[in-house]
Copies of this chain bind each other. A is one copy, B any other.
């Protein structure tokens, strides 16, 4: 028993390890935000494993973002893995989405791309490639970029024209986007598969994929604006308090 409990925490230890009160933990347990205790050794003695500390960390972070309990509960209950049917749906619809996301356009050779956007350098293209944000193909020793890659290089060049120079805003900063938009993208794909699988026809699912970008992009941008406003406010409050 002692050995089994070595990595288990009493509720008081869990509270101090996760920086919340015992009352808060009881509340989370009651609301179903936390699973049942890992081990009960008597009616009044319950033990919690280390995963509870992480989970409370996540709940705290979501509450700091003003997410209501009902939403937090749903986010926490997401299964991380897809079912076989969901995976099958993703496999079938991926080419449909690919056609939407990359759109038509002639591939452009690297030399031409650099000529078209004089601010872009070969080194920058290399770094964006290493981050998986550009995916050129090599044909007969020459590198070609598809239309979506060309558009990204163009958008970055425009933002440099607007004053967001590489000197002030290093390309490495894009790592934050890759990290967080990457996580969001994975959840979006999983959610799409889960919400749609077995509930609409394949033809309808295909139609949804075809309109996914025009339907979601305005929402995404408006959410970001709101969250930027809130972030600026919050960072200021935190300093003032």
Which of A's residues lie within 8 Å of B, judged by CB? Answer: 61-62, 65-68, 70-72, 74-75, 82, 84, 87, 90-91, 94, 97-98, 101-102, 127, 130-133, 135, 148, 151-152, 155-156, 158-159, 162-164, 168-170, 172-191, 195-196, 199-200, 204, 207-208, 211-236, 239
Q: Which of A67, A170, A213 has the most CB of B within 10 A?
A: A67
A65-B132, A133-B223, A236-B94 known; A185+B215 contact, CB < 8 A: no
- Which residues from B are CB-within-8-Å of A98? 229
Flag if A222 contacts B152 (CB, 8 Å).
Answer: yes
Given contacts A66-B132, A70-B172, 12 further A-B contacts (CB under 8 A): A62-B175, A67-B175, A68-B127, A91-B236, A152-B223, A158-B218, A163-B208, A164-B212, A180-B184, A181-B227, A188-B228, A220-B220
Check A235–B133 contact: CB distance below 8 A: no
- When the two chains form the complex, which single residue of B159, B170, B186, B215 contacts A164, counting CB atoms closer than 8 Å? B215
Give how many copies assemble into the complex.
2
B188 and A231 form a contact (CB under 8 A): yes
Residues of B within 8 A of A185 (CB): 224, 227-228, 230-231
**Do the beta carbons of B179 and A75 come within 8 Å of each other?**
yes
Q: Give the distance to chain B from A135, nearest Cβ to Cβ, in Å.
A: 8
Q: Which residues of B contact A182 (CB under 8 A)?
A: 65, 227, 230-231
CA of A159 to CA of B75, assembled, Å:
21
Q: Which residue of chain B has the shortest Cβ distance to A53 in the bound complex?
A: B50
Complex Cα gap A213–B232 (Å): 15
Q: Which residues of B contact A235 (CB under 8 A)?
A: 82, 87, 90, 186, 189-190
| A176 proximity list for chain B (CB < 8 A) | 75, 184, 187-188, 191
> Is B188 touching A222 in the complex (CB atoms < 8 A)?
no
Given A152-B226, A162-B211, A219-B159, is A179 in contact with B232 using a C-beta cutoff of 8 Å?
no
| CB <8 Å contact, B223 and A177 | yes
24 contacts between A and B (CB under 8 A): A61-B179, A66-B130, A66-B178, A67-B131, A68-B127, A68-B131, A74-B173, A75-B172, A75-B176, A98-B229, A101-B228, A152-B219, A159-B219, A162-B215, A163-B208, A176-B184, A176-B187, A181-B184, A181-B220, A182-B231, A184-B224, A185-B230, A186-B234, A189-B232
